[in-house]
Chains A and B, each alone.
Chain A
Amino acid sequence: MVNDSGQLYTIEGLAAGLIMIATAYIVLGSTIVYTPGDTHIADMQLETLGNDALRMMDTPQNLSQATGKSSPLTTILTKTTSGSSDEVSFDGTTFHDKFSFYCNATAVQQNDDNIQFYANVTYRNTSGGLGQYFINSSRNMTGREHAVRVTKWVKVDEQENWDRPQFVLVEVLLWRA
C-alpha cells in the first residue's frame, strides 16, 4: 500500500512554490511599469508649476496695471523706451528673476529648488509670417534635458518689427538640473 503520511507537507510545498512564482512574476512586471510612471508624475507636476508661474506673471499686480490692462509679463515683452530705436528689446533680466523666483520657491524658503528654464516668444512679423525671439534662460541647453513645455498667450501693444498690437506666444521649457 502506498504510504500516505506527509500529504499536507506536499500540498504546502506546492502552494508555496506557486505563490513564489506568482510573486516573482508580479515584482518583475512592476519594475517595468515603475520608471515611466514616475517620470509622468514628475512631468505633470512641473507642467502645472510652470503654467501657474506664467499665469501669475500675466496677472496685474496693482490697480494701475489692471486699468492699463498690463501685467509684469506684458511689461517685459513691450518695447522699452530707453533701448535703441531699431532693436527688439525685452526685459529678459526681469523675466529671469521673476520666473526663477516663482518656480524655485518652496513652502520653506526661496531658491530652494533647482528648476531651470529656457524661454522664447513667437510673433507675427510685418509680412504676416512667424518669427521667434529668445527672451532669457537660466542655463544653456545641451539637448539632453528631460524638459516639459508651458505656453502663454500675451497681448503686446508695441515692439520693434511688430507693426500692430498682437498676440504673441511665450514658450518656456522647464527641467530639473
Chain B
Amino acid sequence: MNDSAQWIVLLGFLVSLSLFFLALLINQSTLVGQTTAEGVLEFPKNDIRDTRDAIISIVSEGGDPDSLCDDIRKISLERKNTIVNCTISGKTVVIHYNNGVTLYEETVHV
C-alpha cells in the first residue's frame, strides 16, 4: 500500500472541514440579523414611550383628564389595536398598555 503524501491529504481534509464550518457561520448569521430585527419591530418601545409621555403631560401641563384619556383610549383601539387605559387621580397616574404581544403597567407620581 502506497502511504506517501498522507499529510497533504489530511491537510486538504482539514481545509474542507473549516470551509464547512464557515458556511455554517454564514447561515446562522443571517438568522441572527432576522430575529434581532423582528424583536425590535415587535417590541413597541416607541409606542409605549409616546403614550406614556402623552398621558403624563396631561397631569403636568393641565387639561381635562377624562376627555384627553378618552382620546388616547379610543384612537389607540381603533388605529393601533392596542388597549390603553389611564386613571388619573390627583398627581397619581396609572397607565395600562396591552397590544396583544406586550403588556405594560405603570403607576407614576408626577
Residues of A whose CB lies within 8 Å of any CB of B are 4-8, 12, 15-16, 19, 22-23, 26-27, 29-30, 33-34, 36-38, 40-41, 43-44, 47-48, 51, 69, 122-124, 128, 130, 150-153, 155, 164-169, 171
Contacts and interface: CB of A to CB of B under 8 A. Distances in A.
A44 B54 contact: no
B80 A130 contact: no
Contacts of B50: 151-153
Interface of B: 1-3, 6, 9, 12-13, 16-17, 19-20, 23-24, 26-27, 30-31, 33-34, 37-38, 40-41, 46-47, 50-51, 53-54, 57, 61, 63-64, 67-68, 70-72, 74-76, 78-80
Given A26-B27, A153-B53, A19 B34 contact: no
B74 A130 contact: yes
B54 A37 contact: no
A144 B76 CA distance: 26
